[in-house]
Amino acid sequence: MADALGTQWARAGHEVLVGARDGDKAARLAARIGPGARAGGLRDAAGFGDAVLLAVAYDGVKEVLGHAGDLLRGRTVIDCVNGIVHPGVTLATGAGPSVARQIADATGAHVVKAFNLCPDDLWRMTPPLVDGRPLTVPICGDDTDALATVRTLTTDLGCVPADAGGLDRAGVLEATAAYVIGMYIGGVDPRSALPSPM
Ligand SMILES: NC(=O)c1ccc[n+]([C@@H]2O[C@H](COP(=O)([O-])OP(=O)(O)OC[C@H]3O[C@@H](n4cnc5c(N)ncnc54)[C@H](OP(=O)(O)O)[C@@H]3O)[C@@H](O)[C@H]2O)c1
């Protein structure tokens, strides 16, 4: 996800800093993204730019946030994490707080849930299209400025942002991702189970 979205944002003219626990891996990704991208550590990434994309496996979220320490307080954090348990495609968070809420509580960041519903292949398209139409990206968050930043980053991908409620609704996006992934694994187009707009 860091590769897919970082590449698109660099292409749109943004500066990107790739941070990872493995510095060589971060450097390779920054080189692949090309102009506009550079590499650093996790703390460098936590403090860089107008927004931080957390593109980490759910099991690593706590550890990565630990590296960031207090650096994320008050910053815009984009959470695309899906905590999915296989087999069965259930939510790792169970009936507890969403991943987004856990990140917000752990960091004091202005968390915006976004980009978690579609696979990286789609985010690599310029622009991402579904049935020939620009992809809609639901976003959930509480902070006005953070939401505005993520709307801009969504538009810069060539997508259409859709306000999907406050951070309390982030769990809905996480459950929707589990639904979508589960249907695809079962060989069913998840959109075929949804009503067309009246
Ligand atoms: N791929 C998709 O299509 C897609 C779509 C929507 C949402 N998502 C979500 O986006 C997130 C990233 O997915 P991805 O496909 O980009 O995954 P990925 O390519 O496997 O990358 C996951 C990253 O998490 C890092 N990581 C894992 N545990 C860590 C730890 N304990 N400390 C530090 N870093 C750790 C890995 O670092 P190392 O390389 O050092 O192991 C790796 O850089 C996931 O939560 C996923 O559910 C993915």
In the prediction, which pLDDT does 47 show?
A: 98
Which residues surround ligand 1 with Cβ inside 6 Å? 1-2, 20-22, 25, 55-60, 63-64, 80-82, 116, 119-120
In the prediction, which pLDDT does 55 show?
A: 98
**Distance between Cα 46 and ligand 1 center (Å):** 16
Cβ–Cβ < 8 Å for 93, 62: no
**Distance between Cα 53 and ligand 1 center (Å):** 11
**Distance between Cα 114 and ligand 1 center (Å):** 15
In the prediction, which pLDDT does 198 show?
A: 73
Q: For residue 111, count CB atoms less than 10 angstroms from its CB and return exposed for 0-12, middle for 13-18, buried for 19 or more.
A: buried
In the prediction, which pLDDT does 134 show?
A: 97
Residue having the nearest C-alpha atom to atom 24 of ligand 1 = 56
Cβ–Cβ < 8 Å for 79, 112: yes
Architecture of the CATH domain 2-190: 3-Layer(aba) Sandwich (3.40)
Q: For residue 8, count CB atoms less than 10 angstroms from its CB and return exposed for 0-12, middle for 13-18, buried for 19 or more.
A: buried
Q: How does the average pLDDT of the chain come out, rounded?
A: 97
Percent of the chain with pLDDT over 70: 100
Helical spans, DSSP H, in the chain: 2-11, 23-33, 42-47, 58-68, 99-107, 120-123, 144-156, 170-185
What is the tens place of the pLDDT at every residue in 76-86?
999 999 999 99
Average pLDDT over residues 132-147: 98
Average pLDDT over residues 23-34: 98
Question: Is the confidence at residue 154, as pLDDT, over 80?
Answer: yes
State the pairing for strand pair 90-91/110-113: unpaired
Residue to substitute in 3, 18, 21, 81 for testing ligand 1 pocket (most ligand atoms within 8 angstroms of CB): 21
What is the tens place of the pLDDT at every residue in 76-129?
999 999 999 999 999 999 999 999 999 999 999 999 999 999 999 999 999 999
